[in-house]
Every structure is written in C-alpha cells, then in structure tokens.
C-alpha cells in the first residue's frame, strides 16, 4: 500500500510541473512581439471650472519582446490635440502621450473625448483612450440665452439677467461688452450681496428689419477670455414685411445655366406687404446692385401687396453679393434693402 501511495504522489507532481511549464510558455507567447500598454485608458479630471483648457499625460510602455512602433495619435474632434514624445519603443521602454482638450466653449456639464492610438501591436492596433471632465459653472445666470422675440423698428427695450457666483468668492467681473452696435449691456452689482449681480441688456431696434444673433461677453481680469457668454437673438420688424428676407442662388454648372430645371431656376420672388393692417404701401425706384440680376415689381390686384421678381439673366464670372433696393412711403422705412447672393461653382 505504501509503494502505491508514493507512485501516485510522483505522478500528480509530474502533472503539476508539466502544467506549470505550459502556463509559463503561454505567458511568454502572449508577450512575443510588440505590446502596447498604458498606465490608464481613462483620464478623468473630475469636477473643474473656470478653465480654458485641460492638459494631461498617458504613459505608454512596450510590454512586448520586439520594438513597438507608434503611429500619430488621432483625436476624435478638433477640440483635442495629442502628440507623442517618441514613436518607437524598445522592449520595456516608456514614452508619454501628451494631450490638451479645449473646454472654453462648454459652459457646464460632463464632457468626454476620445483619442485613438495606432501602433504595430497586432492585438491592439488602434487602442482607444478616453478623456473626461465635469464642467462645473462658477457663475449661475438666468436666463442662459436671451431671445427677445420681435421688436419693432424705432423701439428701445430692456432685458434683465440675474447672475450669481456659486463658489462664495467676489464676482470678479470687470466689464461687459456686446458684438452688436444695437446691444448695450450694463453690469450692476447688488448692494450687500457680493455674490449677486444684475446684467441689463438694452436693445435698440434701428437700421433695417432683420433677424439678429449676437453675444454679450462677461469679462474678468483675463480680458482675452470671457468668464461666460450670453447669446442674444431676436428679430427687428418694421412697417414692411418681406417673405423671404433675402435671396440666394446656387449655380453648380455655370456653363449650362439654368440646365434641366429650366427658367424657374433663374427666378426668385419676394412678397412685400405692410406690417400694420390698413396702411397703404407705395413702392418706387426699384433697382439691383448686381448687374446680372434684373428686377421687376408686380402689384397685387387689390394693390395692398407687391411681388418683387428677380431673374439671373447672365451668370456672373464668380460668386457675387449685393442688394435689391427700393423706396417706400413709410417714414420709418423710406428705403428697403434686400440682400442677395449668387454662389457660382466653377470646377477647374
């Protein structure tokens, strides 16, 4: 019985030794050739605020047995830039992948971007890295966008935006400025409330009837980058209504204009009507600043509205813009200008 027991132990031990060799060989085989390895595949900045860019590093090591060749990093969007220090690693050698993610256009909330790292690793030829952050707004403002709706020509109106700094620090706002001459913003601190302020935006509806989409920048000590930006949009309406408010032609084949679509492709129409019921509209001296466009004016049967007909009778040599212009009997809109654009696509 003792001899049989000894033989059994020897056989089991032999099997275990053989299995151990197989495991070792499997590990060696797994590392044969180049092998890309990262210290992390997700770089999470966590909560962050009042930054224009976030910069970090992924560490890369060649965990294989032959040289690792790294390709050019490929960020998934233009807001992220990435570059390598070196692009060829001997076994065991390390390098760094440096990246910068611009977050200035992201006012709040989670953001996640990806970078593809190509290499000659046969099992991971296009490794994917992730960069994450949670943008926490230091300034809470309401409303976050200002849509003023329709404002009649000649009218001045005011809108109020409430601002609060959430981190308990002083406001730090040095000035406010708008990119539209008819927008006049004014910053007013609230007495005895150092973390609260009011932004008043005056809108002066002058010039010509049009839609507008502008911004008010709220600046701190760094005048090159606003603390935050508020969009201001709306429509200035006048005594005269245009449908549509501008004309556009696209001419993809100028040598065969107007082509299979026929004469209709060369024609655009605009309906002109008074903005206030009961007013009689008169139009005179209609003209166009683009020589290749001929314009005519057709009154309706009841004389209350007009149709402006514009025809491209000759294709210009290149893309061109201009206006259709006419006079009216309305004192607040004595002259009306309708923008027009002709986009000519000539293939070399």
**CATH class of domain segment(s) 139-236:** mainly beta
Domains 36-135 and 240-344 share a fold: yes
* pLDDT of the residue at 108: 78
Beta bridge partners of 107: none
Q: Is the pLDDT of residue 12 over 70?
A: no
* pLDDT of the residue at 200: 96
Beta bridge partners of 207: none
Q: Where are the beta strands (DSSP E) in 153-192?
A: 156-165, 175-178, 183-190
CB-count burial class (<10 Å; 0-12, 13-18, 19+) for 200: middle
Q: Is the pLDDT of residue 7 over 60?
A: no
Element (H, E) at 109: strand 109-118
Q: Write the CB contacts of 47 (distance below 8 Å, at least 6 apart in sequence).
A: 133, 134, 136
CB-count burial class (<10 Å; 0-12, 13-18, 19+) for 278: exposed
Sign of CA dihedral 254, 256, 261, 267: positive
pLDDT, tens digit, 9 for 90 and up, residues 212-255: 899 999 998 877 888 888 999 998 888 888 899 899 999 988 88
pTM (2 decimals)? Answer: 0.53
Q: Is the pLDDT of residue 20 over 80?
A: no
Choice among 44-48, 198-202, 219-223 with the minimum mean pLDDT: 219-223
CATH of domain 240-344: 2.60.40.10
Q: How confident is the model at residue 178 (pLDDT cuts 50, 70, 90)?
A: very high
* pLDDT of the residue at 294: 96
Phi and psi (nearest 5°) for 23? -65, -45
* pLDDT of the residue at 239: 85
* pLDDT of the residue at 19: 41
The yes/no answer on whether domain 36-135 falls in CATH 2.60.40.10 is: yes
Tokens of 186: 């004014």
pLDDT, tens digit, 9 for 90 and up, residues 274-333: 877 778 899 999 999 999 999 999 999 888 899 999 999 899 999 999 999 999 998 888
Each domain of the chain, given as residue ranges in start order, spans 36-135, 139-236, 240-344
């Amino acid at each position: 019985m003792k001899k049989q027991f000894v033989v059994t132990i020897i056989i089991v031990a032999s099997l275990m030794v053989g299995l151990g060799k197989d495991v070792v060989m499997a590990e060696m085989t797994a590392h044969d050739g180049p092998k890309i390895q990262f210290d992390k595949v997700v770089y999470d900045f966590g909560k962050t605020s009042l930054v224009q860019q976030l910069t970090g590093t992924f560490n890369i090591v060649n965990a294989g047995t032959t040289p690792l060749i790294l390709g050019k990093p490929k960020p998934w969007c233009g807001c992220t830039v990435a570059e390598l220090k070196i692009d060829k690693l001997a076994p065991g050698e390390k390098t760094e992948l440096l990246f910068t993610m611009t977050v200035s256009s992201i006012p709040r909330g989670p953001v996640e971007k990806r970078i593809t790292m190509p290499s000659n690793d046969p099992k991971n030829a296009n490794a994917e890295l992730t960069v994450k952050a949670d943008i926490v707004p230091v300034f809470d403002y309401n409303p976050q966008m200002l849509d003023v709706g329709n404002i009649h020509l000649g009218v001045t109106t005011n809108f109020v935006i409430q601002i609060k700094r959430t981190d308990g620090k002083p406001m730090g706002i040095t000035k406010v400025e708008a990119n539209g001459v008819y927008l006049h913003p004014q910053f007013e601190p609230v007495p005895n409330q150092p973390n609260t302020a009011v932004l008043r935006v005056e809108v002066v509806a002058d010039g010509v009837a049009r839609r507008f989409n502008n911004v008010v920048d709220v600046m701190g000590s760094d005048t090159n980058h606003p603390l935050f930006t508020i969009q201001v949009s709306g429509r200035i309406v006048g005594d005269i209504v245009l449908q549509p408010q501008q004309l556009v032609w696209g001419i993809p084949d100028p040598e065969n204009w107007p082509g299979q679509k026929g004469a209709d492709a060369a024609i655009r129409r605009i309906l002109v009507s008074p903005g206030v019921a009961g007013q009689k509209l008169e139009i005179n001296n209609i003209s166009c600043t683009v020589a290749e466009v001929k314009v005519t004016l057709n009154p309706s049967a009841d004389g209350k509205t007009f149709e402006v007909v514009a025809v491209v009778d000759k294709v210009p040599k290149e893309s061109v813009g201009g206006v259709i212009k006419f006079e009216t009997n309305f004192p607040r809109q004595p002259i009306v200008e309708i923008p027009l654009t002709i986009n000519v696509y000539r293939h070399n």
